Every structure is written in C-alpha cells, then in structure tokens.
Chains A and B, each alone.
Chain A
Amino acid sequence: GEDVEQSLFLSVREGDSSVINCTYTDSSSTYLYWYKQEPGAGLQLLTYIFSNMDMKQDQRLTVLLNKKDKHLSLRIADTQTGDSAIYFCAERASGTYKYIFGTGTRLKVLA
C-alpha cells in the first residue's frame, strides 16, 4: 500500500520537547521529508533524511529513522509557541518525482 500514517494531534507545553511520529511503506531507497504548514500557508521544508541514514540533527530538530519498523520521528527540542502548526511527513522513492504525504499532525504548543 501507499499509506503514510501519522497521529493527528499532539499538545505540548512550551519549553518541552515534541516528538511527532510517522510510519511509511516504501522499502526501497527512499527520501523522507518533514514539512511544516502554518494556517493558510504553504509547505515549509524542515528537513529530510535518506533511508540509509539513522539520524539527522539540525539545530532544534532531530530526525530518527527505524528502517526495520519503517518508523520516522521528528523531535523538536525546546518547543516554542511559534512551532504550533501542522507537520507532514512525506516519502519519495529515489529516482521518482512522486511524493506520498502523511495525514499531518497538528501540534499545539501551550504557553
């Protein structure tokens, strides 16, 4: 199948860490992306990881990849109110254009 699944909602307190999870399906070489969408806006690419990597860190963002379970996570350290948004994971098989988007996780940061 082509389903990329995410939990729909996450609420955290300001200053805590947020962990957003995603399960994907493609077992071949794959790019996995995290996008942020603020209300009424387009997609902002946050980071991406290739399927031969286990982890990628970029400032407050850490991406972990469990290839065995096809599980991807995005950890946001020191979550701020400006991080409140919808976060989409997406997968793209290497050598193709087609993106498959997850259902999106709505992150709410409480002050």
Chain B
Amino acid sequence: GAVVSQHPSRVICKSGTSVKIECRSLDFQATTMFWYRQFPKQSLMLMATSNEGSKATYEQGVEKDKFLINHASLTLSTLTVTSAHPEDSSFYICSATGFDRQSYEQYFGPGTRLTVT
C-alpha cells in the first residue's frame, strides 16, 4: 500500500514551453502532497506543499508563477513548469500523505527527470 506514481518519468521540452508533471496516489487519499526538486548530486529541496482544494504553500525562493501547482482531487496533484528554461532542468519528486495512512508520513513518487533544451 501507499503507492505514489508520477508521469511522465522523463520529459524533454524546448525552452519557452510549459510542461506538466502529474503525481498520483494510487491506493490512498492524499490530503497533502509535496513537490521536491533535486539537482545532480544534491539533496532534495522542498518546493511547495499543497492541500487538496487549497492553494499551494511555496517555500522561500520558489517562484509560484513559474511552478504552478494544482491539487484538485484527493489522488492527483500537478506541477506545471511554465516558460521552461535550461536552468529548470532537474529531477522533480512528489510525495503524498493522507489521513488513512500513518499520519504525517510522506510516501514518495519515483521522480520525473525534466530536461529543457
């Protein structure tokens, strides 16, 4: 149980375009989802926290107009990177937690590798 999936696993897009990454909880209701960014050989950096039906809370230094997060249902959150630039190339990982799982425990997705050319 507590499976989180991400789609796509890998995406290449051209500079200036937008790309959407999906995060789904497959067997539980995710009341809260998290988006992380990981640069090569570095740790995970929390970008934002989203609660179902509410606006996301962004960490300091993360541009909310560039990284649009939608958490419209209890099983799906999306991260849209708008007007992508090469410096947005990174590994994006989502995680989810919910009341029907062990409270406050985060369950991580497999990650999405974004390359902006």
**Residues in chain A within 8 A of chain B (CB atoms):** 35, 40-43, 45, 88, 92, 94-99, 101-104, 106
Chain B residues, CB < 8 A from A97: 32, 34, 49, 97, 104, 106
Contact of A43 among B49, B104, B108, B113 (CB under 8 A): B108
B44: which of A45, A98, A101 is its contact (CB, 8 Å)? A101
Interface of B is mostly: strand
How close is B73's CB to chain A, nearest CB, in angstroms? 19
B34 contacts A42, C-beta separation under 8 Å: no
A40 touches B113 (CB 8 A): yes
A106 to B46 Cα, complex, angstroms: 21
Interface members, chain B 98-117 (any A CB < 8 Å):
104, 106, 108-111, 113
B1-45 toward A: CB 8 Å interface, digit per residue (1/0)?
A: 000001000000000000000000000000010100000011110
CA distance A96 to B97 in the complex (A): 11
Q: List 30 A-B contacts (CB under 8 A).
A: A35-B108, A40-B111, A41-B111, A42-B6, A42-B93, A42-B108, A42-B109, A42-B110, A42-B111, A43-B44, A43-B93, A45-B108, A88-B43, A92-B104, A94-B104, A95-B104, A96-B104, A97-B97, A97-B104, A97-B106, A98-B46, A99-B46, A99-B106, A101-B43, A101-B44, A103-B42, A103-B43, A104-B41, A104-B42, A104-B43
Q: CB-CB < 8 A to A35: which residues of B?
A: 108
5 tightest Cβ-Cβ pairs between the two chains A and B = A42-B110, A42-B111, A43-B108, A101-B43, A101-B44
How near does chain A come to B91, taking the closest CB pair, in angstroms? 8
Residues on the B chain within 8 Å of A96, using CB: 104
B5: nearest chain-A partner, CB-CB: A42
Return the chain B residue nearest A93 by Cβ. B104
